[in-house]
Amino acid sequence: MIDGGGDNYAGKISFNGFVLKVQNRLIILCATCSHLGCTVTRASGANRFDCPCHGSQFNLLGEVIHGPAAAALSHFNWQQASNPNQIIVEGVALPGVG
């Protein structure tokens, strides 16, 4: 991860994330809540992520909109692959790789 606080510190490896296009910008967020490390989910019918453990909520940019989380969701570093339909995401551990 390239940023974050709480349970999402820069350089930490994550095992889950979200790829979103928000305001014509590609955003790749960690699915780990910055509060205590639970996995957030995309709220059905809403433009936010919810933490099922303690009720934190994050907007689609990963910013906190309701605590107890104090830090935003972390972002992954990514780059365009040689194939225009693919991206390369750094910092994600994939099953069976490496």
- CATH code of residue 38: 2.102.10.10
- Our measurement of the distance from residue 85's CA atom to the centroid of its chain's CA atoms, rounded to an integer in Å, reads 21
Does some domain include residue 58?
A: yes
**What are the DSSP E strand ranges found in the chain?**
17-22, 25-30, 41-42, 48-50, 57-59, 64-66, 77-80, 87-90
Q: What is the mean pLDDT of residues 11-24?
A: 78
Domain that holds residue 62: 17-90
Question: What pLDDT is attached to residue 57?
Answer: 96
In a domain, 7, yes or no: no
The DSSP code for 92 is B
Residue 9 domain flag = no
Residues 9, 13, 19, 24: is their CA dihedral positive or negative? positive
Position 3 in a domain: no
* Total residue length of the chain: 98
Q: Are 57 and 50 in contact (CB under 8 A)?
A: yes
Q: Note whether residue 72 is domain-resident.
A: yes
User: Would you say residue 92 has pLDDT above 70?
Assistant: no
pLDDT at position 51, please?
94
In a domain, 4, yes or no: no
Number of domains in the chain: 1
User: Does the residue 34 lie in any domain?
Assistant: yes
95 belongs to a structural domain = no
pLDDT (tens digit, 9 = 90+) per residue, 51-88? 999 999 999 999 999 989 988 998 888 888 788 788 88
Q: Which residue has the higher pLDDT, 71 or 92?
A: 71
The model's confidence at residue 3, banded by pLDDT at 50, 70 and 90, is low
